[in-house]
């Protein structure tokens, strides 16, 4: 029905050839009868069913013929159809009945000693469209636990074997691939450290700030900046891991400059591998002789190891 108005050709009392209209409707609705009970071939412990078109688990279409089954006396029979072939079978156990991956449920039928006494229709309209180990009309390329399906050439399904412990799925050259969590192209990360407030004149001293590394880190460069530039002489900064300097040439900001990027003598890193949870301290070795400078920040630049 389409709401209160039917789209189906109605049969009137006065029309001729009522069977023509009825049979035309039955033909149009025949797909919905697939695997339905066929009364004309059902008798005693014989269960008749209608065939029809189904989409099997490999994606191909199968034409299922009308057929019959012999049910077991004095037991409940569970009738199913295999998704791989469309074949109908019955059993008094629920092994296939409970296997929704590879079978469609059709009917549960209670039988007496010589006849069927009752049945429940468990067919779902539109369900005969693939599924099972092939899944949704797709041939299953997976072979092992943990495999996943990815799109290959022209989107064709292909197997990607399970990755190893700790690996994550990444895109490599346009295709999914397993890689170490920190693997692939390294991502540049900067760790900024405020060594002072913004306005107080800087003073020399060791361990002006102390912190611990949140992860292992490969250092590629260091940088410093100030809010107020030093004047009269250079500002010199040292960075230590576990009490030992990681710089063979220390970090400097030239007089009247606000950044180390313009320093006449660039810093040189002697220890680039900072360990996870390593204690890092920052020293101020020299400040400007006229204006000390203020608002010092230091940046550790590199990638997570």
How many CB atoms are closer than 10 A to CB 83?
Answer: 27
Residues 195 and 299 in one domain: yes
Dist CA 65 CA 129 (whole Å):
17
The pTM (predicted TM-score) of the whole model is 0.45
Cα–Cα distance for residue pair 286/224, rounded to 1 Å:
14
pLDDT at 56: 87
- C-alpha 103/C-alpha 82 separation (Å) is 5
Q: Which residues contact 236 (CB under 8 A, 6 or more apart)?
A: 250, 251, 252, 284, 285, 286
pLDDT in tens, 113-125: 999 999 999 998 7
Q: What is the mean pLDDT of the chain?
A: 89
239 shares its domain with 262: yes
Band of pLDDT at residue 139, cut at 50, 70 and 90: low
Q: Per the structure, how many domains does the chain have?
A: 3
Domain boundary among 156, 180, 204: 180
Q: How far is CA 106 from CA 39, 89, 123, 264, in A?
A: 15, 10, 5, 84
Q: What is the reported pLDDT for 25?
A: 79
Segment among 179-188, 193-202, 241-250 with least mean pLDDT: 179-188
Of these ranges, 4-13, 100-109, 194-203, the one predicted with the greatest mean pLDDT is 194-203
Q: Is residue 199 part of a domain?
A: yes
- Domain CATH number, residue 286: 2.60.120
pLDDT in tens, 218-233: 999 999 999 999 999 9
- 159 and 194, same domain (yes or no): no
| 174 and 193 both lie in a single domain | no
Residue 10 belongs to some domain of the structure: no
Same-domain pairing of 164 and 205: no
CATH number of the domain residue 90 falls in: 2.60.520
**Could you tell me if residue 1 is inside a domain?**
no
Within this chain, do residues 108 and 173 fall inside the same structural domain, yes or no?
no
| Residue 281: both structure tokens together | 């301290």
Looking at residue 131, its pLDDT comes to 47
pLDDT tens digits, one per residue of 44-98: 999 999 998 898 888 788 889 999 999 999 999 999 999 989 999 999 999 999 9
Confidence of residue 129 (pLDDT cuts 50, 70, 90): low
Beta strands in 84-204 (DSSP E): 88-91, 103-111, 116-121, 148-151, 157-160, 167-172, 175-180, 189-194
User: Mean per-residue pLDDT for 170-198?
Assistant: 83
8 located within any domain: no
Quick one: 195 and 300 in the same domain?
yes
More reliable by pLDDT, 154 or 53: 53
Which alpha helices (H) appear in 16-139, and where do they start and end? 18-28
The token duo for 102 is 């590879």
Q: Are residues 172 and 221 in the same domain?
A: no
Does residue 280 lie within any of the structural domains?
yes
Residue 131 covered by a domain: no
Average pLDDT, integer, range 134-151: 72
Altogether, the residues listed in the chain come to a count of: 305
Whether residue 46 lies inside any domain: the answer is yes
**Domain stops at, among 121, 136, 162:** 121
The confidence score (pLDDT) of residue 26 equals 79
Asked whether residue 116 falls in the same domain as residue 176, the answer is: no
Q: Residue 186's pLDDT is what? A: 66
Question: Is the model's pLDDT at 132 over the cut of 60?
Answer: no
- Among 52-56, 73-77, 165-169, 237-241, which stretch is predicted with the lowest mean pLDDT? 165-169
The pLDDT score that the predictor gives to residue 170 is: 86
* One domain, residues 299 and 194: yes
Per-residue pLDDT tens digits for 249-294: 999 999 999 999 999 999 999 999 999 999 999 999 999 999 999 9
Which of the listed residues 121, 139, 156 is the one where a domain comes to its end?
121
Please give the residue that has the higher pLDDT: either 232 or 155.
232
* Residues 167 and 66 reside in one and the same domain: no
Q: Name the residue among 80, 183, 160 with its Cα closest to residue 124.
A: 80
Question: Per mean pLDDT, which of 26-40, 133-147, 213-227 is the most reliable?
Answer: 213-227
Residue 100 has pLDDT above 90, yes or no: no
Residues 187, 303 contacting (CB under 8 angstroms): yes
133 within domain boundaries:
no
Q: Domain containing 164: what range?
A: 148-180
**What pLDDT was estimated at residue 182?**
59
Whether 215 and 280 map to the same domain: the answer is yes
pLDDT at 137: 52
Q: Of 87, 84, 93, which is closest to residue 69 (Cα–Cα)?
A: 87
């Amino acid at each position: 029905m389409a709401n209160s108005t039917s789209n189906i050709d109605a049969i009137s009392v006065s029309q001729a050839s009522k069977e023509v209209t009825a049979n035309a409707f039955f033909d149009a609705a025949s797909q919905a009868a697939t695997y339905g009970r066929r009364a004309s071939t059902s008798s005693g412990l014989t269960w008749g069913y209608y065939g029809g078109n189904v989409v099997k688990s490999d994606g191909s279409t199968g034409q299922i013929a009308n057929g019959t089954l012999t049910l077991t006396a004095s037991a409940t029979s569970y009738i199913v159809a295999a998704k791989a072939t469309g074949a109908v079978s019955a059993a008094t156990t629920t092994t296939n009945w409970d296997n929704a991956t590879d079978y469609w449920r059709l009917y549960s039928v209670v039988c007496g000693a010589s006849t069927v006494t009752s049945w429940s229709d468990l067919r779902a309209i539109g369900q005969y469209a693939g599924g099972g180990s092939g899944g949704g009309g797709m041939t299953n390329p997976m072979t092992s636990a943990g495999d996943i399906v990815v799109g290959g050439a022209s989107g064709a399904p292909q197997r990607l074997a399970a990755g190893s412990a700790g690996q994550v799925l990444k895109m490599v050259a346009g295709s999914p691939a397993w890689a170490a969590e920190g693997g692939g192209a390294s991502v540049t990360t900067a760790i900024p450290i405020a060594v002072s407030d913004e306005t107080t004149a800087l003073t020399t001293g060791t361990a002006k700030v102390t912190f611990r590394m949140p992860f292992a880190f490969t250092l590629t460069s260091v940088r410093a900046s100030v809010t107020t530039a030093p004047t009269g002489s250079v500002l010199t900064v040292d960075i230590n891991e576990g009490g030992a300097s990681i710089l063979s040439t220390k970090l400097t900001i030239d007089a009247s400059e606000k950044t180390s990027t313009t320093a006449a003598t660039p810093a040189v890193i002697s220890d680039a591998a900072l360990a996870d949870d390593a204690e890092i301290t920052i020293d101020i070795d020299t400040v400007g002789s006229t204006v000390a400078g203020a608002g010092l920040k230091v940046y550790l630049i590199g990638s997570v190891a």
